[in-house]
Structure 1
Amino acid sequence: MQRRRLLATLAAGAAATALAGCGFALRREPELRFKTLALAGFGAKSPLAVELKRQIGRAGIEIVEDPNRAEVVLEAERDQQDKIVVVSTSAGQVREWQLNLYLDYVVRRPDSELLLPRQALAIAREMTYTESQALAKEQEEAQLYRAMRSDAVNQVLRRLANVRVN
């Protein structure tokens, strides 16, 4: 029994050493090269803007309301989510939905100088649907949209990490 535990410990140690030696590292938060950011063009209750503020705040960047006081302005040209029918029965019952999230944005200085030209994000997920599980499918839809927003925010943060303010 102790021999198995010893072998397992040695194997785990060897695997960790091999991963560290090849340069493997867990993904870290992107390092942003500016201190203040303003979000513009988002709807008043945009869930994507809320998630962006939360994640950018975690990165140590101050979110300012006035774009003229920010070093960088992330301006949304389109912040939209929708769902379309992918599969339906001959009786017209929906069997599968496609959930879509779109974000088109530019990153600029307050004086309108572009730091990143127009970026377009389009994220799609498919979801099966049955009327007998409507409540569960509604919750699944909400979870999928949350995951899509999180994915979009991570992509935006990686792109913002390449913005040079100087």
Structure 2
Amino acid sequence: MRRRHVLTTLAATAASALAGCGFRLAAPPSYPFRSIALVGFAPGSPLAADLRRALAGRVEVKEVPAEAEVVLQALVDRRERSAAATTAAGQVRELQLRLLATVRADTPAGRALMPPVALRLVRELSTTEAATLAKTAEEAEIFREMQDDVVAQLLRRLAALPV
């Protein structure tokens, strides 16, 4: 009985401390516009697909830019990989993975809402020939995490647009 009382007191203290510091769960951003068009992305772009998915249910994603309140234009949407370190025999030991995205937001009439924003994420990946399959899967996962980061950054910027 005493132990239960101590645990209840500790839980109440922790809850009041969290409430007192202003802690609250992150809520999805609200956008100052009701519709958006995504243009300039390559057909089948994973970044465009993730943006559509993230915006779905919050704003309407239009196919025709003239029908949208905001036009998000991709200027650069590229994934790159290069050898960062090799052995004396020429075998790759470390890869550098880069995700580059540059976007801008305008009204359909051409008024700039957000100047071009360049997002560049770089990660290093050690590799060996013995674990090629596992490293290929790890590379895909790293690109997926970088893309999630880019999408989150873009969503925050879209939520702050002066529409």
- Alignment TM-score, normalising by the size of structure 2: 0.95
2:135: which partner in 1?
Answer: 137
Match of 1:148 among 146, 149, 152: 146
Structure 1 residue matching 2:56: 3-state secondary structure = helix
Q: 1:88, CA displacement in angstroms?
A: 1.2
Residues 54-101 of structure 1: CA deviation (Å, up to 9, x unaligned): 00114x111010000000000000000111211111111111111110
Give the CA deviation at 1:44: 0.3
What secondary structure, in the 3-state scheme, does the structure 1 residue paired with 2:88 have?
Answer: coil
Residue identity in the other structure for 2:150: A
Q: How far apart are 1:9 and its partner, in Å?
A: 3.7
AA of the residue aligned to 1:121: L
C-alpha distance in 2 between matches for 1:127 and 1:4: 49
How does 1:18-37 map onto structure 2 within 5 Å? 18-37=17-36
Structure 2, gaps ≥5 residues long: none
| Residue in structure 1 matching 2:82, options 77, 81, 84 | 84
Structure-2 residue corresponding to 1:52: 51
Structure 1 portions without partners, runs of 5+? none
Q: 1:124 to 1:6 in 2, by over 3 A?
A: farther
What number of residue pairs does the alignment pair up?
163
Q: Please report how far the alpha carbon of residue 133 of structure 1 lies from its aligned counterpart in structure 2 after TM superposition.
A: 0.8
CA distance in 2, matches of 1:36, 1:113: 16
d(CA) in 1 for partners of 2:114, 2:17 = 38
Whole-angstrom distance in 1 between the partners of 2:8 and 2:142: 38
Percent of aligned positions with the same letter in both sequences? 45
Change (3 A) 1:89 1:161: same
Q: CA deviation at 1:27?
A: 1.9
